Structure 1
Amino acid sequence: MTERRSVALLVAAVGGLVLGATFAGWIPRLLAPLGVTGLVLSVQGRTARESMAAGWCFGLTFMASTVSWMWPSLGVGAWLGLTAVESAWFAGLGLLTAVVGRLPGWPWWTATAWTAVEVLRTSWPWGGVPWGRLAFATPDTPWQAMLPWVGTTGTTFLLALVGSALAGVVLRARSRPAPYVLVVAAALLAAVMAGVVGPLGTTGSGSVRVAVVQGGVPGSGKLVVDHHREITADHAAETRRLVSGADWAAGPAAFVLWPENATAVDPTEDAVAEAEVESAVAAAGVPVVVGGVTDGPTSTTARNQLIAWSATGPGPRYTKQHLVPFGEYVPLRGLATRVSQRVTDIGRDMVPGPPAAPLPVAGLRLATALCFDVAYDDVVAGQVRQGADLVTVSTSNAMFLGTAQLEQQWTISRVRALETGRTVVVASINGISGAISADGTVQVVLPERDTESAIVDAEVRDGLTLAVRLGSWPGRAVIALAAAGLAVAVAGQALKSRKRPPTVNAIMATSSGS
């Protein structure tokens, strides 16, 4: 029995590592469903405690590899802390997977359980962690075709269903694997057909030229605050260089997009930063969307904002909604400083903005996002529902240079392009900057760490994909279905056991024969 438990834990750990490796870029993303397969196999016939242990092992290897970029950028303490917190979610998922695994049509219930836990962990604690969502592993795979139809939540469900059905094939290899093979085949066929048909609901209505400026960070490329004056000056200088070139002369851009932290002081209050921004706006003759840290409502708070700056001065703003705990604000500050000394550098806690409306710039309506904002479903899609023409993402990412974080966030931007049917233009202070078409195709990528700029022809699209229309309802539905599946499984076991109302442990003990 001890040997079987050890094998189960090993299978779970390998499954988590396989899934994490797809996000870390170590193996192809197409293999992501195999990670789910590993978790499902590891909890078969296990008790409640064993199932939770397997889920916990899965979560450890999955999150540790997925966010391995935290170690060199934020410190080993932050990396281990996040991995431990997120692994608790997967411990619960292991138990839930084992319980619903006894229901008829269990691969469907397992996919529902996985998706429900994913939705919940993107919301709590401290705003949740959306990193590592299955749907974020779909670009350049057949599964990406589902994004404009069912969004990130529905696409996660599809991949979890495929992984669960593959586990069914393994478990029924000598008896009746056919139903599970058919589930995998049907899911793949649905993805292929979605790609053939294409997303319905959006149409092109022309294009607009957008200038992207990546000013770079002096020195190591990571010390934004230490070089903030030079960074602002470099962005202004690169803007002036761009508008004096042949590309601009061939057709000026409608606006210029600067990255997050292009100015680390409030340009509406700081004379030096204001002068640099004004010089860029005057040279371009069009608005510049400036990413800056502005003063908050108190002396101990700040805001992370985008400001549409025109010839008449600062105009409409977008304030980042989903702030990064221990990065932009510090919960449990006393304890956090013991885990990682880096949080002591965060002198002011940022405050989040309200639900956003599209940012009006140069006659356009922009769905805007700042850095990790793009990983949350409500930010971009909510603005597209309000009529946004295209999407812009301004980010810094300077502290993550040389890690997988840059590519992961760029991939999430590609997911948003597919999901919303909108062009996504990205400006990063050090990279990855560029533009992504509405079908997820990369149009332009600027070299990392260099001071660069480009003018891109961004298609403007009208209408809404089905995914955008559905909004948050798929997430609510899977949570309700997962709860119903758990209730049905518990009630079913109660009917079989007439002696006493079973606890979850008793249910699991019965299923494992212990």
Structure 2
Amino acid sequence: MTDQAVFPRLASLAGRLVTARGWKRLGLAALAGALATLSLPPLHALPLLWVAFPALVWLLRGSDRPKTDFTIGLAFAIGHHVPGLYWISAALFTDIGRFWFMLPASLLGLPAVLGLFLGVGTVAYGWARRRWGLTGWVEAAGLALAWVAVEYARGHMFTGFPWNLIGYGWVPVLPVLQTVSVIGIYGLSLLTVLAAALPATLVATKPSWRPALAGLLGLALLAGWGGWRMAGQGLGDVPDVRLRIVQPNIPQALKWKEEAKINNLRRLIDMSGAEGWDRVTHVIWPETAVPYFLSSDSDNPDQAPLTRLLTQIAPPGGALITGANRLATNEAGDYIYFNSLFALTQGGTVVASFDKAHLVPFGEYLPLRGLLPKGVKAVAAAADFSAGPGPRAVSLPGAPAASPLICYEVIFPGAVMPREGERPHWLLNLTNDAWYGQTAGPHQHFAITAVRAVEEGVPLVRAANTGISGVIDAYGRVRGALPLGDSGNLDISLPQRAETVPLYADYGDAVPVVIWLALLLGIAAFRPRPT
């Protein structure tokens, strides 16, 4: 039986997608993937998901074999990730003479690798659709299951890269965003793709508008619950804590030049000591703001002049919190390097430190170094960095304990807080997005931090070299921010954390996995039966 529709024009469009072949089909899949990208930061054009995912359903409906399923998924993913991740290539232009050969890999290679994940997912979906004759809402639900399984896989395999998950499109819609406090970002992605794919049932052998309406009503219910959760939750401030976040806006091309280092450091010190310094308790600098090696040993005579210089800007009773590289030696006596955070008090004392644990592949270290040509180096490091022990609570003078996160450590759901011992009051993210200039990357990075705050029920403080720096409360509300590309200070209080610990913070990804399994059981129960 041929597909029918509630709306004849929609049926005509769906028919063209179902019957498309060859390069035309792949081009349409890539276009649909690009439309899905526009739902993400910085545009947040969410209604386009209700175009992209029905189109993907209809394209796959026209496939009759796994190879076609795979190429459709691959094309959709490449169309999705090239415009979503193009900004990664911007990092290479800080030294394009040395890294020009990596441009194709960063611009097209990474999207293609990520596309392999979706290709496998659409093969599994296509097999289930044909094997069990999935139609109606279960056809859309099958795609949602496949999509989120793919998101979860790419977020965990090969160190993981959970960037631009579909649920991040909801960041400006705070009532819906509250859902992540229960089911996390993967759960929100699952419900989003399900709701967005359900309009495909408007064109089917038994067309119906009810599933599409149910999807919208479901999102409305989530928004209603989220609005209720936020109602009356003003969240006061932590008493006697006043932060000064410093955004120096130092171009990456100048950041490590030997002749510019001392001027960059003086710039940070001058900005930190500007009017109002006597009213703040903590000064916060970005990742690697100090362009020299620091040690956690306060008595190290080699760094004593540097720490004395730095701690003159540490407020009395508080601290200067900064990023810097740390040099150490291993058991064999070889030098090892860490991307670290330090808290320094007046008098030159290092009272706390933290080493970045989740390093950036090809940026801070080279995977499979033994297989690469000799002399090839990571983009952001002269030598491979070593990894720290992972999330932990760091005690700071004059402030509640924090969980530090350096750069893209903040992108990993469920892995930003220690799961044993003291629960930190806030997340502290130091980053340097100067690599990516005025692209979508820093906007996406900032949006991701808002989701971590809601998932964990704690405020998040972010200091970024070129922006976006800011403070986000436990409900995802931006208390204050410095725009991308601006230079300045943000003097702001530290918000209180949520009164209750969110379900997701307690159970992590076990919650979205349960939702995924429940939907899978629903498909098994309601799939069409042989006649």
TM, length-normalised to structure 1: 0.83
SS in structure 2 at match of 1:398: helix
Structure 1 vs Structure 2: percent identity of aligned residues? 22
Match for residue 211 of structure 2?
180
* Kept after mapping to 2: 8 A contact 1:86/1:121: yes
5 Å-filtered alignment, 1:422-461, equals: 422-461=458-497
SS in structure 2 at match of 1:354: coil
Give the deviation of 1:108 after TM superposition: 2.5
CA distance in 2, matches of 1:422, 1:153: 19
Match for residue 253 of structure 1?
280
Match for residue 503 of structure 1?
none
Residue from 166, 180, 191 that aligns with 2:199? 166
Q: Which runs of 5+ in 1 are unaligned?
A: 497-514
CA distance in 1, matches of 2:267, 2:373: 33
Asked if residue 314 in structure 1 is aligned to residue 356 in structure 2, the reply is: no
* Kept after mapping to 1: 8 A contact 2:182/2:504: yes
Match for residue 467 of structure 1?
504
Match for residue 393 of structure 1?
429
Counterpart code for 1:129: F
Corresponding residue pairs, total? 480
CA distance in 1, matches of 2:271, 2:27: 52
SS in structure 1 at match of 2:293: coil
Counterpart code for 2:511: P
CA distance in 1, matches of 2:469, 2:377: 27
* Kept after mapping to 1: 8 A contact 2:121/2:149: no
Asked if residue 323 in structure 1 is aligned to residue 356 in structure 2, the reply is: no
Mean Cα displacement is larger for which, 48-57 or 359-368?
A: 359-368
- Residues 46-93 of structure 1 deviation map (CA, whole Å, 9 limit, x = unaligned): 110000000000111111111111223226232222122111111112
* Kept after mapping to 1: 8 A contact 2:245/2:284: yes
5 Å-filtered alignment, 1:157-306, equals: 157-169=190-202, 171-172=203-204, 175-198=206-229, 204=235, 206-207=237-238, 208-217=241-250, 220-226=251-257, 227-241=260-274, 245=275, 247-249=276-278, 252-268=279-295, 270-271=303-304, 273-281=306-314, 285-298=317-330, 299=334, 301-306=336-341
- Residues 243-287 of structure 1 deviation map (CA, whole Å, 9 limit, x = unaligned): xx2x445xx333222110112332225455423322222x55521
* Kept after mapping to 2: 8 A contact 1:89/1:121: yes
CA distance in 1, matches of 2:423, 2:34: 40
CA distance in 1, matches of 2:193, 2:266: 48
CA distance in 2, matches of 1:383, 1:231: 37
- Residues 295-351 of structure 1 deviation map (CA, whole Å, 9 limit, x = unaligned): 24444531111112223611222222221101011113476669x977366321112
* Kept after mapping to 2: 8 A contact 1:358/1:383: no
Q: Which runs of 5+ in 2 are unaligned?
A: 1-17, 93-101, 296-301
Match for residue 139 of structure 2?
106
CA distance in 2, matches of 1:481, 1:9: 32
Match for residue 40 of structure 2?
23
Give the deviation of 1:418 after TM superposition: 2.5
CA distance in 1, matches of 2:421, 2:69: 41
CA distance in 2, matches of 1:428, 1:109: 40
* Kept after mapping to 1: 8 A contact 2:201/2:209: no
* Kept after mapping to 1: 8 A contact 2:287/2:341: yes
| Aligned alpha-carbon RMSD (Å) | 3.3
SS in structure 1 at match of 2:391: coil
Label 1:210 to 1:335 Cα distance change in 2 as closer, same or farther (>3 A): same
Label 1:92 to 1:451 Cα distance change in 2 as closer, same or farther (>3 A): same
Give the deviation of 1:352 after TM superposition: 1.8
